[in-house]
Structure 1
């Protein structure tokens, strides 16, 4: 993936294996219109195919993350048309959720509706102190989309997911952190630098081990113990065979600096 790119509604930059996707409709609080959805589809497909990309950052321009779908552009008049509209999203949304590389969402300001769903598709959410999260679908007679029925209960628990969906209430950054939807809260001026720092750190992890672990964790709540033990054994066998593992062990024995280290200092 070349960098930088500019397709108006989605800005794409790449540096040292980290790709940043920036929602770029600040005049509409980065609401998702048809052009942006198409651009996101194309970007996710290309990221999935490009093994030189080691991590992804999602962010918004202009002080907001994403206000969800563009209500002004919603003119769906039949159940079939509504289904087709959402089915078009599911291919790239599922690829983003299952992407075998770290995905970091840097959330500032409004994170509503499909925007909240996109943040939930990330592995970690870093939020500014002014971030606001909401599933406002009930206010317009709709249901959550972009994978939120899958991700939201897994992140915040079923009871809180029902609360957020049924009431369409807003959740501020401290509550989102307490609920497990946010990893860190930072000052707005430091948000994007912090997200990039975490992405760069995770990009140094074993790509094989990270991908295997993420796939297993995404399957864990829908699997039984025996199935997860089988997945564990197969994954560990693959991980043991990697050059990353051998080099990490050698460095440990020789008391050299590790290939991957957490936490990321601020």
Structure 2
């Protein structure tokens, strides 16, 4: 296990096949400033380059997941600081989307602005009861970033995405679950346990197949049905020649848990 540093704006470490990216500015509800954004990109690069990573968990230290961008850092030079913050955040999000490993957002407390964007960019999301969500950009006279305008309508539909974006209202975890923004809502006391349980399950899965499944689903909106069927056929054929596929078939007939190696 690689131990994380403590006195940094963002902590990165790996336990077995699970990589952890934890925003670590609890005094400001993990608001993202430029050093945090740069650390986020570095963590995403580490996870994407590490062949041992089978799942990624993104979380926040203290009382919040991420309260959005650090507005105090933007007051004096808003254009320059916004660019310096958004560029590494977007590069990191692109890496998370491209990697084979599924990415899980584990949320509690406040999830706002760019923090909601980070959560929306993940493949799966789990939230504690009492979590509060707000896209928030319209409330400060800004449009959104961190992939939220791409992911939100795909997750909740166009009308609801417009409502969340244009009204800037706060909604709770139960509503987030109802509209499909999160996969699961658990008690606050069990969030860490349930997160680790789900991450371990993802990490035990077949990494090649999961990466292909992730890309099939993410890219499906950009294809016709005929094109998607062709890509599905090619993808399945590519999986069928892997050792993992053979292991999965053998385990099925032998009635045991498969042990995937990513080969």
Distance 1:255 1:148 in 2: 42
Corresponding residue for residue 204 of structure 1: 204
Corresponding residue for residue 103 of structure 2: 103
Q: Could you tell me how far 1:93 is from its partner in structure 2?
A: 1.5
State the number of aligned residues: 260
For residues 45 and 257 of structure 1, do their structure 2 counterparts lie closer, same or farther at Cα, with a shift above 3 Å needed? closer
Gaps of 5+ in 1: 261-266
Q: Could you tell me how far 1:5 is from its partner in structure 2?
A: 3.3
1:46 equivalenced with 2:23 (yes/no): no
Give matches, 1:235-250, under 5 Å.
235-250=235-250
Under a length normalisation based on structure 2, what TM-score does the superposition of the two structures give? 0.93
Corresponding residue for residue 60 of structure 1: 60
**CA deviation profile, 1:200-242 (whole Å, cap 9, x unmatched):** 1011111000000101110101211122112111111111011
1:4 equivalenced with 2:4 (yes/no): yes
Q: Could you tell me how far 1:63 is from its partner in structure 2?
A: 2.1
Give matches, 1:128-207, under 5 Å.
128-207=128-207
Indicate the RMSD between aligned Cα atoms, in angstroms.
1.8
For residues 109 and 81 of structure 1, do their structure 2 counterparts lie closer, same or farther at Cα, with a shift above 3 Å needed? closer
Q: Could you tell me how far 1:71 is from its partner in structure 2?
A: 0.5
For residues 243 and 167 of structure 1, do their structure 2 counterparts lie closer, same or farther at Cα, with a shift above 3 Å needed? same
Under a length normalisation based on structure 1, what TM-score does the superposition of the two structures give? 0.92
**CA deviation profile, 1:232-261 (whole Å, cap 9, x unmatched):** 11111111011111011112122223448x
**CA deviation profile, 1:86-106 (whole Å, cap 9, x unmatched):** 344322111122322111111
Q: Secondary structure at the match of 1:221?
A: helix
Distance 2:41 2:212 in 1: 24
1:253 equivalenced with 2:253 (yes/no): yes
Distance 1:192 1:99 in 2: 24
For residues 78 and 194 of structure 1, do their structure 2 counterparts lie closer, same or farther at Cα, with a shift above 3 Å needed? closer
